[in-house]
């Protein structure tokens, strides 16, 4: 039976948020540290990554329980830590995030750095402390660490900063985004498949879906930032491809993503309509 994406979203986004807040609140940790961790976790957000994990797990016919929500939410801890550290004065030096003062504005720079460190570390507690088989837990840990670290998200952030002094060509820009955004989204999709314990070839296909989704996400982001049709920002898709070219690239990636999902549904029992629902994100705004 197919589940409607919108209903799924409405049901699980609040459950993800509640699970994280409840779990973090019980930590035996200094009050100011917990407050800083909860502040950024409770600041909102689409919960796109854990929701993607849960949807894919569910699409294979599995029932989602509290323990599974916790495993999926580990990824949101990593995403949130990355935002806290990206906002720091030494990096993007942002005062506001989602309409609220950034962590370092609210708690000071030292506490913001440490709250980020603690969220990242806590993600691995959640992955290693649940009812899943140990072999699955280990795969989740390994893949999240690879996706989030030097070869993935942190590496992408370094390349992104280097981009302030140089102009990337299309393949370089794509690598930056594959690391910075794609790696975690690709983990999100693979995590759902790993938890469902499906064939490794399917895990790989879903990883590709996440990667392609991440690229589409970034092109969309660049397009939404365009305010002047003639003077695009450096190291963006509109600058490299032009406005129409970037829009065409977005559509190509969205189509590719949809094909992967349909291919999977042609092979195994898979609620492709639920997962395709995530592509609606790209339909509404351009």
Contacting positions for a second copy (CB under 8 A): 27-30, 32-34, 37, 85, 88, 90-91, 108-111, 113-114, 116-118, 120-125, 127-129, 133-135, 137-139, 141-142, 144-146, 148-151, 154-155, 157-159, 161-162
Distance of closest approach, residue 68 Cβ to a second copy, in angstroms: 17
Tokens linked to 286? 């351009």
Question: CA–CA distance from 255 to each of 27, 181, 211, 232 (Å)?
Answer: 43, 19, 13, 25
By beta-carbon proximity to a second copy, the closer residue of 29 and 224 is: 29
43, 98 Cβ separation under 8 angstroms: yes
Q: Shortest CA distance to 281 belongs to which of 224, 205, 227? A: 224
Distance of closest approach, residue 196 Cβ to a second copy, in angstroms: 18
Cα separation, 164 vs 68, whole angstroms: 40
85, 116 Cβ separation under 8 angstroms: yes
Token look-up 């070839």 returns 201
Token look-up 């952030």 returns 157
By beta-carbon proximity to a second copy, the closer residue of 88 and 265 is: 88
Cα separation, 37 vs 148, whole angstroms: 18
253, 219 Cβ separation under 8 angstroms: yes
| Strand extents, DSSP E, 36-147 | 96-97, 100-101
By beta-carbon proximity to a second copy, the closer residue of 17 and 143 is: 143
Distance of closest approach, residue 264 Cβ to a second copy, in angstroms: 26
By beta-carbon proximity to a second copy, the closer residue of 155 and 192 is: 155
By beta-carbon proximity to a second copy, the closer residue of 125 and 243 is: 125
Cα separation, 48 vs 7, whole angstroms: 14
Distance of closest approach, residue 113 Cβ to a second copy, in angstroms: 6
By beta-carbon proximity to a second copy, the closer residue of 44 and 149 is: 149
Distance of closest approach, residue 272 Cβ to a second copy, in angstroms: 31
Distance of closest approach, residue 14 Cβ to a second copy, in angstroms: 24
């Amino acid at each position: 039976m197919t589940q409607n994406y919108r209903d799924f979203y409405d049901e699980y986004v609040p459950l993800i948020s509640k699970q994280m807040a409840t779990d973090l609140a019980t930590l035996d940790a200094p009050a100011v540290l917990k407050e800083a961790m909860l502040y950024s976790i409770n600041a909102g957000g689409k919960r796109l990554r854990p929701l993607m994990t849960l949807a894919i797990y569910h699409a294979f016919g599995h029932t989602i329980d509290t323990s599974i929500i916790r495993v999926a939410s580990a990824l949101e801890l990593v995403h949130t830590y990355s935002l806290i550290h990206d906002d720091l004065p030494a990096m993007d030096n942002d005062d506001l995030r989602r309409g609220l003062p950034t962590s370092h504005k609210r708690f000071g720079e030292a506490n913001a750095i440490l709250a980020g460190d603690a969220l990242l570390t806590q993600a691995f507690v959640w992955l290693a402390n649940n009812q899943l088989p140990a072999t699955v837990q280990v795969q989740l840990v390994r893949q999240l660490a690879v996706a989030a670290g030097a070869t993935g998200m942190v590496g992408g952030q370094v390349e992104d900063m280097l981009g302030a002094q140089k102009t990337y060509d299309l393949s370089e820009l794509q690598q930056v985004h594959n690391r910075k955004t794609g790696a975690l989204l690709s983990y999100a999709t693979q995590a759902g498949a790993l938890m469902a314990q499906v064939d490794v070839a399917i895990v790989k296909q879903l990883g590709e879906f996440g990667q392609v989704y991440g690229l589409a996400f970034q092109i969309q982001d660049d397009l939404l930032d365009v305010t002047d049709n003639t003077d695009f920002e450096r190291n963006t898709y509109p600058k490299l491809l032009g406005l129409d070219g970037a829009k065409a690239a977005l559509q190509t990636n969205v189509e590719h993503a949809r094909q992967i999902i349909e291919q999977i549904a042609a092979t195994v029992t898979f609620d492709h309509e639920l997962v395709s629902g995530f592509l609606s994100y790209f339909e509404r705004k351009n």
